Structures are given as C-alpha cells and as structure tokens.
Amino acid sequence: MDSTKLLPPVKEALEQFPRIFDDKTAYASPLGAAWAPGRVNLIGEHTDYNGGFVLPMAVDRVSAFAGRTRQDQTVRLWSAHFKEYAEFSLDGLPENFDQQRKPLPGWARYVLGVGAELLRAGITLKGFDAVVSGDVPLGGGMSSSAALEIASAEAYALFSDHAFTIGEKDATLTPIETAGLCQRAEHIASGLRSGILDQAASCLGQPRKAVLLDCRSLDYRYLPFEYPNVSLVVIDTGVRRELASSAYNERRQQCEEATERLRDLILQDEPGNEQARGIKELRDISPEQFERYKNQLPEVLRKRAGYVIAENERVLQVVKLLEAGQIEEVGKILWIGHAGLRDEYEVSCAELDALVDIAHDVPGVYGARMMGGGFGGCTINLVRSDAVDALRQAVEQHYPERTGRQASIDICRAAAGPGHVVTQ
C-alpha cells in the first residue's frame, strides 16, 4: 500500500494506533483503516425530510478509523480530536442501547448507534480497537456526524472480517440501505429527526460529480461537476450549533403541519381530487396549489412551506443548468436560496448573513448561501478560481469587523465515497 495516497486523517489514525493501543499480543488481525467523506450540498436545504430533492456531493474531507479486530465483543475507541477514550460492548445491543449510550461522549454514541442498527438488521459483528480521526469541520454544516456514521459502518464491516459488505453489486447492504441504517442510528444517538441527505451524500460520493437524490423514492443519478476555472469554496463562520437543541425538529414539525393544512384546504375546494388525498409531504404540493391557498395558512407555516416548495423547484433548475454547463447561472440561484433560508425558513444567523453579504460584493463570486441545518456552520460559494484570493482578502478584512470573529476558508473538491484498506 502506498500510504502517500491516503488522506491525512487516515494516515494520522494509522500512525497513532500503535502508540495508543500498544498491546500487540491482544490482536491476531492486521491493521486496517476505514473512512467516509463529509459533504457539501449545492442546493436543496431542508427538503430531504419533506420528501424532496437534494443535490449534494461528497468532498475530500473524511472521518477515519484505524485499528484491529478484537477477540471479544468490546469496542474501544480513541478520538484524536477530543483526546478521549470511549468503550462499549456489542453484547446486548440493540436492546441495551439506552443504557450503554448514557456514559459515552457524544461522538461515540454515533458509533454505538451504527453498531446497534447493524445488529438489529441481523448482521454479525466483532469488537475492535480503533483510533478515530477526521478533518470534516465539526458542526460546520458539512455533515461530520454522517461521515462518522458511514465510516463506522465501513469499520464494522472491515473489523468484523467482512461478515457483511457495502456496495452496489452483490453486497449485503447497498449504499442507500447503508445511508438509511446510519440515518436511523443518528436518530437514536442524537434525537435529531434528520433526513437522509447527509448519509446518502457520503455513501454515494464520486469524484467530479454531484448526485441528484430523490429523497422519497431514493432514486439518484450523477451530474458532472468539473469546472477547471471554478472553485467550490467553503467558509466557516466559527459559530457552532447543536441541532438537536435548536429549531431543527421544530421546523420539521411545522412542515408536517403545513402539509396537513394545505391538503385539507385543497380537499375542501375539490373533494373529488384524488391527487390531493395522496398528499403526504410538501413535495406533493405544486407551486400553483401553494399560491392558491397560502394566504389561508398562519404566517409562520406559510413561510416554511413556501421556502420548501420553492427550494425543490430550485434544485431542478440547477440540474438543468449543470447539464447545460451554465455554472454562472447556478450561482444566481444560490443567492436566492440563501434569502429563502434567511427570511422564510429563518435558520440563518448574523455571521452566515455577513459572509454571504461579503461574498456578494466580490467580483468573480457567482453565488453563495448558508449550508447545512443552519444557526451557524459554513457557507458554500461558487467562485471563479482567479477570484478566490480576492474573496479570502475580503473575508479576512470585513468579517471580523462585522462579527468580532475569524472565519476559515477552504477549497473543496467533489470526491469519492467511503472506503477501507488493510495495511499489514
């Protein structure tokens, strides 16, 4: 194996493992590593749990495990980021999940949750020791939790001597099945009623491609995303949010209530409308139907539903533009999407708005918007490559003036999905 080709977190975890877990006599297995990427979402925010469309891509930032199989059912982990151990047992899962979850640090609960869901699916697992590393910004809207969950599934597969496999053909779990399993693991680990966007994006990543995912049917197809003169710039506000304690679950509940009210309003006017009887999510309500009935909704529900219905249309617009190679036009839709997140869905914050405003004034920035659940995290920016330095300078100058904070700027590339390697 050529270690120079491994991403930095994978190399870091492999290098640290012998120092952290130095009892070589405890293992009869080779050292191996498993990883999965974070993601950016070009367009389609908060549409996934409304049965809508999303357009993400995996990026070259990963969560990684490096370790060895144990001879028992114990899982021992060391976090290179948090500098702390976590330990749990696969025995008794998933029934004793809540009992084992309580003493664990937050990051380890995701690993436990994935193990519980794999066992619930009837898959046989083995214990392992591993160092956990990563360079997906935590709480930054690039889905560090989903990267950790999908990397956990890859690690369980690797360290359980390939008792199950993940892949497109003749595998125990398809990528979408793996995403769904890890989505359920997030629900039980964090209490966050997340959609499937993040896990699917991590599982489905391909270099130089975005993926259009229908979050209801789970059908997907790839779109080219390779523009030599355009950079995908992620700018981190430095503001961290805890989605489970934020308004995320509240937004989901509001969308469900808006759907029910709109369905009832349509059926009152058109009792024989079979299409209306089948309305289950905002995805099912056309822009024309929304325009007709929106003024009969309470203001907050009108704003939430209006954003989601329009955002689904924006995703489909961007797909057509990417197919036509019109990347500058894609940028214009990002500005509009941010305004909707700020004013209608109300999940932005002063720091995110500041970064988008600063980017708007830099020539060569095609578009920018907040990304992820909201209330902090990152913005995604489509930037002409020769304008990246100007954007960086503008952010370094004006962002601290406006917020009293420092922002970090990174260029990301559409990258491959999860993987693993045995090193010795």
Task: Give the residue numbers marked as catalytic.
Answer: 198
Give the CA angle between residues 107, 113, 118 to the nearest 5°.
Answer: 140
Burial class (CB in 10 A: 0-12, 13-18, 19+), 89: middle
Exposure string of 347-383, with b = 16+ CB inside 10 Å and e = fewer, is bbbebbbbbbebbeebebbbbbbbbbbbbbbbbbbbb
Please check whether residue 175 is in contact with residue 183, taking contact to mean a CB–CB distance below 8 angstroms.
no
Closest CA to 52 of 339, 402, 319, 414: 319
Q: What is the DSSP letter of 213?
A: E
- The whole-angstrom separation of Cα 149 and Cα 132 is 12
Q: Which two tokens stand for residue 287?
A: 């822009």
φ/ψ of residue 246, rounded to 5? -95, -160
Exposure string of 212-223, with b = 16+ CB inside 10 Å and e = fewer, is bbebbeeebeeb
The per-type count for the chain, helices as H runs and strands as E runs, is 13, 12
Q: Which two tokens stand for residue 56?
A: 């993400």
Element (H, E) at 339: helix 327-343
Q: Which two tokens stand for residue 134?
A: 């990563």
> Which whole-number Å values give the CA distances from 407 to 40, 326, 393, 399, 402, in the listed order?
17, 29, 11, 7, 12
Output helix, strand, coil percentages for the chain, rounded to the nearest 5: 45, 20, 30
Please check whether residue 234 is in contact with residue 369, taking contact to mean a CB–CB distance below 8 angstroms.
no
Please check whether residue 145 is in contact with residue 248, taking contact to mean a CB–CB distance below 8 angstroms.
no
Dihedral sign, CA of 18, 21, 25, 29?
Answer: negative
**Residue 251 bridge partners (DSSP):** none
- The whole-angstrom separation of Cα 105 and Cα 101 is 8
